[in-house]
Chains A and B, each alone.
Chain A
Amino acid sequence: MVICLKVHEYQAKEIFKKYGVPVPDGALSRTPAEAKETARRIGAPVVVKAQVHAGGRGKGGGIKLAATPDDAESVARKILGMRLVTHQTGPEGTLVKSVLVERASDVEREMYLGMVIDRERSQVAVISSPEGGVEIESVALKSPEKVHKAWVDPLVGLMPYQARQICFGLGLAGQPFKDGVNCILNLYRLFVSEDATLAEINPLAVTRDGKLIAIDAKINLDDDAAFRHNDRPDYRDPNEEDPLEVEAKTHNLSYIKLSGTVGCMVNGAGLAMATMDLIKHCGGEPANFLDVGGAASSDAVEKAFKILTSDKDVRCVLINIFGGIVRCDRVATGVVEAIGKAGDAGMPIVVRLEGTNAKEGIDILRGSGLNFHTATGFHEAAQKAVDLSRGGA
């Protein structure tokens, strides 16, 4: 699974600046007083923008215009500390801890520019549209003729003629056209040099005085390429992540919390998803996705078990391990140790071990004196777990 690292707008804009993609003057502020000071320094009117990863911030009340430095202060006071709810955050929203205060641009027209790796073509795709400032999905749905795509030959890179073609398609002319070509070529340079998986400007604007400027900025970085970027600041924001998911990551476990009652611990992402599907098929609801990975030690299994059972909604745990490189006896040892330390699991546990050393694993579980439900069939295991999660036997 490819892991993308999301960065905040203000960080994305710092990266934009480094590569010559034009952005408005601005600075990050963590207090209303700082916001006021920034507004005074760069000159009002300013825009105060909540720094959270989710999209749809404007509609949720996380982006506000301020005419004076005093306005900036009072607007920042409202936004800082609020739980911003958008269509991407879920109903609980995200706590806003900082705002970007930027000089407001006098916008004449808004466009869209984005770059992404197209998995079907195995090339970088440049997507552009003369309609910006709205969700590009809806533009593509309503008027697909307004979405232009170009693909980059990895051997030669993005060619100037392609950038010109895109700018003609955006309807640019004169100085904004020249700036547009540079902006596109620079954004591609950024995409490759920084190992991005997504770089997006929505909207890319032309101001009334003919300047091209990136009003918003979004960058996702490829975590797998981190080895090439040892000098990179730590962009991770624990405020944006589920604490259990963060805890899981530190133990090399892949965990995503869901809303059901059957906790699952599985090795391999595909089998983990299939296990969730089977729980649903048997009439239950999975509480999580948890992949203990390819080289799960008994220590990792112990940590995984702790994370699973700290979810208050979990009524029953299903452990489904298909041994390959992962040996079932090691997994069994981890589970026994985890429960032994806790004294009692506090809930029924269904274990299914298959593959390498499955028999030895089952023997360890049976010999532990702890109360496990074992199952041999995939369906049998899932059905048992679903029944037990409902208090049945």
Chain B
Amino acid sequence: MAILLTKGTKTIVQGMGKEGQFHAERMLQCGTKLVGCVSPGKGGSDILGLRAFNTVADAVNATGANASIIFVPAPFAADAAIEAIDASLSLVVLITEGIPPMDMVKVKDKLNRSKTHLIGPNCPGIITPGIGKLGIMPVEIFAPGRCGVISRSGTLTYEVSAQLTKAGVGQSTCMGIGGDPIIGTTHRDAMRLFNDDPDTDMVVMIGEIGGTDEEVAARYIKERMKKPVVAFIAGSTAPKGKRMGHAGAIIAEGKGTAAEKKEALRGAGVTVCDSPAEIGATARKVLDGLSG
């Protein structure tokens, strides 16, 4: 097993433009179970051998899909995400970058009143090595195993996963949760899922400066986490002053720096790496400690 993306996941693609088609092809190549696509007005046709539907509801009725991956352009992405939530899909992966935060306020509100897991937006997606990927990541750098990965960034997720694979630490599931201010699945949400997953032994968490998502996760780890966690926070050297303004600083209660996040995580018993080049080796040591 793994989390969210498992053997039973049947996925439709929303948005079959150039980018959607490019990645659908790659998702199929690594064995991902794609069962159709949604392209309003093109219902009944075939795109890349995938049956096209006019609406998500049509696609779900005909194929029994329980997941969706969205490549719809930013101005229309919130609409697409809410269509997927309304169709009661259990997993929705929103790849699109540049969705206005006020649109995400509406999506998140809808999401909170549903049973859907939304990953993203502005994220590389999710991969369960050996089962498939709903995302845009290169598959070669991943290997099946028992380490969960949660990350707010894209290419840094690849860097870390490649380090893990090189160190012989395979992954149960890797998830890029997205770098936007408002996202569906947070660090804490993902941590909770890995905590309950019998096939995950440890978790690598990659955070970033800004917001308080990592601090919230640290609180959860301290109180509930049964598995070891290795973490890195990007942005120790990032310049200050790129903040949202006075009111934003108030909301964050002055939190959000790398130093504060690292301290919160260390306080929760997490092994925090100061160098982003040492994450793979550190995870290896932690994993060896578990079996030894």
Complex CA distance for A270 and B74, rounded to whole angstroms:
21
Does B289 reach chain A (CB closer than 8 Å)?
A: no
CB distance from A217 to the nearest CB of B (A): 12
The 5 closest A-B pairs by CB, nearest first: A270-B153, A268-B155, A270-B156, A379-B277, A114-B247
Task: Report the Cα distance A117→B74, complex, angstroms.
Answer: 19
Q: Does B208 contact A (CB under 8 A)?
A: yes
Across the interface, B182 reaches (CB within 8 A) one of A117, A135, A280, A294, namely A117
Q: Enumerate A267-321 residues with CB–CB distance to B below 8 Å.
A: 267-271, 273-281, 286, 289, 294
**Which residues of the partner chain B approach A76 to less than 8 Å between Cβ atoms?**
none
User: Chain A CB within 10 Å — which of B100, B108, B153 has the most?
Assistant: B100
For A294, list chain B residues within 8 Å (CB).
97, 154
Q: Which of A269, A275, A279, A322 contacts B158 (CB 8 A)?
A: A322
- B41 interface residue (CB < 8 Å to A): no
Stretch at the interface among A17-25, A168-176, A220-228, A366-374: A220-228
Chain B residues with CB under 8 Å of A231's CB are none
Known: A2-B181, A274-B234. A119 touches B211 (CB 8 A): yes
The interface bits of chain B over 229-240 (1 if a CB of A lies within 8 angstroms of the residue's CB, else 0) are 000101111110
With a cutoff of 8 Å between Cβ atoms, the chain A residues found around residue B251 in the complex are 116, 118-120, 125, 127
The segment from A31-39, A99-107, A197-205 that touches chain B is A197-205
**What's the least CB distance linking A322 to chain B, in Å?**
4
In the complex the two chains form, is B105's CB within 8 Å of A324's CB?
A: no
Beta-carbon nearest neighbor of A218 in chain B? B245
Residue-wise interface mask of B (194-215) relative to A, using a CB-CB cutoff of 8 A (1 in contact, 0 not): 0000000000001011011100
B contact residues around A354 at 8 Å (CB): 158-159, 162
B248 interface residue (CB < 8 Å to A): yes
Q: Contacts A225-B100, A268-B156, A277-B234 hold; do A147 and B138 have CB atoms under 8 A apart?
A: no
B: residues with CB less than 8 A from A are 74-75, 97-106, 108-109, 124, 136-138, 140-141, 151-159, 162-163, 179-182, 206, 208-209, 211-213, 216, 232, 234-239, 241-242, 244-254, 258, 274-278
A224 and B99 in contact, given A120-B212, A122-B104, A258-B239 (Cβ under 8 angstroms): yes
User: Are B180 and A137 closer than 8 Å at their CB atoms?
Assistant: no
| Cβ–Cβ contact B235 & A273, under 8 A | yes
CA distance A141 to B270 in the complex (A): 29
Q: Which residues of A contact B245 (CB under 8 A)?
A: 116, 198, 200, 218, 220
Of B152, B211, B247, the contact of A120 (CB 8 Å cutoff): B211
Chain A residues lying within 8 Å of B103, measured Cβ to Cβ, are 225
Task: Kindly identify, within residues 178 to 225 of chain A, every residue whose CB is under 8 Å from any CB belonging to chain B.
Answer: 192, 195, 197-198, 200, 202, 218, 220, 222, 224-225
Q: How many Å lie between the Cα of A122 and that of B154 in the bound state?
A: 22
Q: Contact mask A321-334 → B, CB, 8 Å, 1/0?
A: 01111000000000
Q: Are A137 and B246 in contact (CB under 8 A)?
A: yes
Contact B247 A274 (CB under 8 A): no
Q: How far is the CB of A257 from chain B (nearest CB, A)?
A: 9
Is A278 within 8 A of B277, CB to CB? Answer: yes
- Once bound together, how far apart are the Cα atoms of A270 and B251, in whole Å? 23
Q: A140 vs B157: C-alpha distance in the bound complex, in angstroms?
A: 36
C-alpha gap A276/B152 in the complex (Å) = 17
Q: A323 near B244 (CB under 8 angstroms)?
A: no
Chain B residues with Cβ below 8 Å from A200 are 245-247
Measured between beta carbons, the chain B residues less than 8 angstroms from A275 are 276
Report 12 cross-chain contacts, Cβ distance below 8 Å, ordered by A residue. A124-B105, A140-B250, A154-B109, A192-B102, A200-B247, A225-B102, A227-B74, A228-B75, A267-B155, A271-B159, A278-B275, A294-B97
A200 to B244, CA, bound (A): 12
Q: How far is the CA of A195 from the CA of B102 in the complex (A)?
A: 7
User: Could you tell me the distance between the alpha carbons of A153 and B112 in the complex, rounded to whole angstroms?
Assistant: 12
A114 touches B101 (CB 8 A): no
Establish whether residues A256 and B159, one from each chain, have CB atoms under 8 Å apart when the complex forms.
no
**Chain B residues whose C-beta falls within 8 Å of the C-beta of A60 in the assembled complex:** none
- A88–B100 Cα distance when bound, in Å, is 26
B154 close to A136 (CB less than 8 A): no
Q: Chain B residues with Cβ under 8 A from A276's Cβ?
A: 237-238
Q: When the two chains form their complex, are residues A382 and B277 in contact, meaning their CB atoms are under 8 A apart?
A: yes
13 further interface pairs, Cβ-Cβ under 8 Å (given A267-B155, A354-B158): A116-B247, A118-B251, A120-B211, A122-B108, A125-B247, A153-B109, A224-B74, A224-B101, A280-B237, A289-B239, A324-B154, A378-B159, A378-B276
Name the distance in Å between B167's Cβ and chain A's nearest Cβ: 12
Cross-chain contact B159 with A135 (CB below 8 angstroms): no
Q: A379, B154: Cβ atoms under 8 Å?
A: no
With CB as the reference atom, state the residue of chain A lying closest to B109: A154
Check if B104 sits within 8 Å of A324, measured CB to CB.
no
Query: Chain B's nearest CB lies how many Å from the CB of A194?
Result: 10
For B249, give its contact among A120, A137, A382 (CB under 8 Å). Answer: A137
- A268 — which chain B residues lie within 8 A by C-beta? 153-156
* A85 interface residue (CB < 8 Å to B): no
* A155 beta carbon closer than 8 Å to chain B: yes
Residue A123 at the B interface, CB < 8 A?
yes
Cα A323 to Cα B124 in complex, Å, equals 13
Q: How far is the CA of A119 from the CA of B243 in the complex (A)?
A: 13
Whether A270 pairs with B179 at a CB distance below 8 angstroms is yes
Q: Is the CB of B182 within 8 A of A122?
A: yes
Residues in B whose Cβ lies below 8 Å from that of A355: 138, 140-141, 158, 162
**Which residues of A sit under 8 angstroms from B242, Cβ to Cβ?**
256
| Residue from B102, B109, B213, B234 in contact with A117 in the complex, judged by beta carbons closer than 8 Å | B102
How far apart are the CA atoms of A88 and B242 in the complex, in Å? 10
A356 interface residue per 8 A CB criterion: yes
Across-interface contacts of A266 in B (CB, < 8 A): 155
Q: Does A4 make an interface contact (CB < 8 A)?
A: yes
